[in-house]
Amino acid sequence: MQHWSSTVPTNTLGDFYYGSVALVTLLVALLGFVFPQFLQQIELVLFTLIILMIGVPHGATDHLLDQFSKGKKFTYRTFLLTYIVLGVIYTVLWYFLPQLSLLVFIVISTYHFGQSQLLYLRMSQHHWLKIASYMLWGSYTLCCIILLNWDESWLILDELFPSLLVVILPYLDLIPYLLGLLFFTNVGLFVVFYAQGQMQKREFVGELINLGLIAALAYFTPLLVSFAIYFGLWHSLISVRIEIQKLRTYRRSFSAIKFAKTALPLSLSTLVIFVVIFLLNTQFALFQSPYLLFFILISVLTLPHVLYVQEFYTSTVHKQAVSQ
């Protein structure tokens, strides 16, 4: 049986899905350039739809990933208990140490975004250079989306973490230099990977195009639109592709439809929980900022999700243990 790592989707030139995502990204960027007011009018609706229809479901199959990682040792009760415990601990951390919690969220999100994009690199999953590439890709993407939409980002960040902005504001003039440094550092790593045979020519060219597309998307579209397109099309669906590809090495009949059916119960449960929490917040004013509440909820889901995905990507399970 062919090992799954040799069939990881590269999301670069020659791949139909990648070509479709690149085209949509380019069209959305052009739409933002020609009709910026239109995107501003629909950004909240578009953001909400993509997060609920793609973002949340892409993490609603973590129990399936854990089952494939642990094989016969998996129990749903242990999975659910672990998820809840991690969520509670992180929520408490947010209450007592919000800035540390923010740092943790940024670091794991940066790594997670880069991992889904560059998992295909032909080197050990634990190689320091591969981990560095994850962090650099994720940092470049997040910085583009946040810093190239600074007017909108500032309004949200000022509401969430006003004390943090006092530290950041004196350094705003350095934004172009930071983005330039991240861009050329990523390019430099791609050159190294290509020279060492860990990245093919089409992948190398594709990644250079990706850097430009991400910057164009962030520059020409509003904050929520650029994040929604990236998170939904670039990250979430790419992650789903990788997960289905690995699951198929053990269960050939596993399909995108089965994946969607598996994700549906927890996706709906998450949606209901979100609605209840926001209604309670409206009733009892637990959080003055709905942005902060949403931010914390997403981060609480992200922490265990990233851990389960990391284990899934790096695990090897015997066929008989996962074909139940």
Per residue, the 3-state secondary structure of 304-324, as one string, reads HHHHHHHHHHHCCCCHHHHCC
Query: What is the percent of the chain where pLDDT is above 70?
Result: 94
Tell me the pLDDT tens digit for each residue of 1-48.
Answer: 344 455 677 767 778 888 899 999 999 999 999 999 999 999 999 998
Please write the tens of the pLDDT for every residue from 256-308.
888 888 899 989 998 999 889 989 888 887 776 787 888 889 999 999 999 99
User: Are 127 and 103 spatial neighbours (Cβ–Cβ below 8 Å)?
Assistant: no
50: pLDDT confidence band, cut at 50, 70 and 90? Answer: very high
Give, as one character, the DSSP assignment of residue 13.
Answer: T
For residue 193, the SS3 value is: helix
**Range of 273's domain?**
4-322
Is 47 within 8 Å of 159 (Cβ atoms)? no
pLDDT by residue (tens digit) across 153-190?
888 888 777 777 777 878 888 889 999 999 999 999 99
Angle at 152 between CA 103 and CA 235, to 5 degrees: 55
Contact 255, 243 (CB under 8 A): no
Binning pLDDT at 50, 70 and 90, where does residue 194 land? very high
Q: What is the pTM of this model?
A: 0.90
Mean pLDDT of the chain: 88
Q: What is the predicted pLDDT for the residue at 321?
A: 43
Q: What is the dihedral of CA 223, 229, 231, 234, to 10 degrees?
A: -140
Question: How many domains is the chain partitioned into structurally?
Answer: 1
Residue 320 in this model has a pLDDT that exceeds 50: no
Terminal alpha carbon distance of the chain? 18
